[in-house]
C-alpha cells in the first residue's frame, strides 16, 4: 500500500554526518538552531545536535570582526608613526645633520641644495 501526502511548508535541506541529505521543516530547523542542545534525527537515527545558538554564533563573529578591526587600526597607527620617523630623518639629512651624532655638516647641506634641488623630505628621495 502506498501513501501520499501533500506538504505545503518549506523544507530546509541539510546533511547528516553520515552523508545522507535530510529535508527538515524550516521552522523546526530554525527552532533547533536557535536553542542550544535541541536535537533533530536523520532517517538512519543519527542525531543533529545544535551546540551553539544563532545568537552565540553571531556574537562570536562580531568579536572576531572587532578584533580584526582593532588590529587594522593598530597597524594604521604604526604605519603613520613610521612615516613620521622617516620624514623626520629625511628632513635632518637635507639639513646636513649626521644621523649618528646629530652634528651639522655644511658640505652635506650644500650638496643636497645644489645637486638635489628637487629633493622633498616629505616625499620620495
In this predicted model, what pLDDT tens digit does every residue of 89-105 receive, in sequence order? 888 888 888 766 777 87
Domain ranges in the chain are 11-51, 55-115
CB-count exposure of residue 121 (10 Å: 0-12, 13-18, 19+): middle
- Residue 24 three-state SS: strand
Residue 61 is predicted with a pLDDT of 94
For the cut 60, the answer to whether the pLDDT of residue 6 exceeds it is yes
When pLDDT is cut at 50, 70 and 90, the band that residue 4 belongs to is confident
Nearest to 94 by CA among 70, 72, 115: 115
- Residue 63 three-state SS: helix
For the cut 90, the answer to whether the pLDDT of residue 110 exceeds it is no
Average pLDDT, the chain: 85
Most confident of the following: 5-9, 31-35, 39-43, 83-87: 83-87
Question: CA 32: distance to chain centroid?
Answer: 29
The pTM score is 0.47
52 vs 93: which has the higher pLDDT = 93
Most confident of the following: 5-9, 32-36, 42-46, 117-121: 42-46
Residue 124 is predicted with a pLDDT of 57
When pLDDT is cut at 50, 70 and 90, the band that residue 83 belongs to is very high
Cross-strand pairs, 25: 11
Amino acid at each position: 500500500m502506498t501513501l501520499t501526502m501533500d506538504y505545503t511548508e518549506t523544507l530546509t535541506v541539510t546533511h547528516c554526518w553520515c552523508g545522507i541529505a535530510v529535508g527538515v521543516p524550516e521552522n523546526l530547523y530554525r527552532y533547533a538552531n536557535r536553542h542550544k542542545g535541541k536535537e533533530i534525527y536523520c532517517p538512519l537515527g543519527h542525531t543533529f545536535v545544535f551546540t551553539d545558538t544563532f545568537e552565540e554564533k553571531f556574537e562570536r563573529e562580531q568579536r572576531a570582526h572587532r578584533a580584526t578591526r582593532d588590529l587594522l587600526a593598530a597597524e594604521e597607527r604604526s604605519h603613520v608613526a613610521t612615516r613620521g620617523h622617516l620624514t623626520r630623518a629625511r628632513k635632518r639629512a637635507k639639513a646636513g645633520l649626521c644621523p649618528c651624532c646629530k652634528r651639522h655638516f655644511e658640505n652635506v647641506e650644500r650638496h643636497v641644495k645644489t645637486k638635489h634641488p628637487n629633493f622633498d623630505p616629505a616625499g620620495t628621495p
